[in-house]
Amino acid sequence: MVRFEDVRKAFGTVEVLRGISLEVHRGDVTVLIGRSGSGKSTALRCINGLETINGGRLTVCGRKLHEPGVDLRALRQEVGIVFQSYNLFPHLTAAQNVMLAPRKVKRIGIREARELAREVLAQVGLADKAEAYPEQLSGGQQQRVAIARSLAMHPRLILFDEVTSALDPELTGEVLRVIERLAQGGMTMVLVTHEMGFARSVADQLVFMHQGTVWEAGSGDILRDPQTPELRQFVGNGL
């Protein structure tokens, strides 16, 4: 579903991605780990066109993002993204936040949108919070509404960019359990996270990024038996 081929990305004179090659297969969970500044969030943002690559080839859901004229609006209907900040509209209820994109983008009717919101809020364990406003929800609940909002578009792929980094341990756990259930249901996902235990348990493919490159990759077992000094040090510090 995603193929990076020697992808490069620079901000001014700073090269953040230095020729990364990586594949994400349907139904798999790929987890990107690494120190701050290693390029993992930039790589994630390139997948749905929030950042434009400077070199190489990047194909997502059959769309060639390295070619001019790619339809980003259509791409983003297939590729959802959940950020660290929840970005919920404070004047809308949880259900209204979820309903907004399907109504605006897919032009579905209000009755269908309301039923869809009910279904996806139940999927993230918030069926009883549909009429609550963001200020009435905990951080973990708000993040789960953000996940439900992404699910409402029926994406083929969901990206998670450090979605628990602003949460305390208890709230982190409730969000990670939702992501685990999505993984068990076969959702294709790419995650950037600092939660090493979670990364090891959920990843079909774990990618350690270092200095803008894919430094080491494999199953979650690479955290138990790192093959490079850089990953060994990272794991030692992280655990």
Number of domains in the chain: 1
pLDDT, average across residues 231-236: 91
The answer to whether 161 and 84 have CB atoms below 8 angstroms apart is: yes
pLDDT, average across residues 11-19: 95
* pLDDT score recorded for residue 167: 87
Three-class DSSP category at 209: strand
Three-class DSSP category at 236: helix
145: CATH: 3.40.50.300
- 14: part of which helix (H) or strand (E)? strand 14-24
Give the whole-angstrom CA distance, residue 168 versus residue 30.
24
Number of residues in the chain: 239
User: The domain containing residue 202 runs over which residues?
Assistant: 2-238
* pLDDT tens figures, 105-151: 889 999 999 999 999 999 999 999 999 999 999 999 999 999 999 99
Give the whole-angstrom CA distance, residue 90 versus residue 47.
28
Which tokens is 14 given? 């700073």
Note the pTM of the prediction, 2 decimals: 0.92
Which tokens is 30 given? 């790929």
The answer to whether 149 and 97 have CB atoms below 8 angstroms apart is: yes
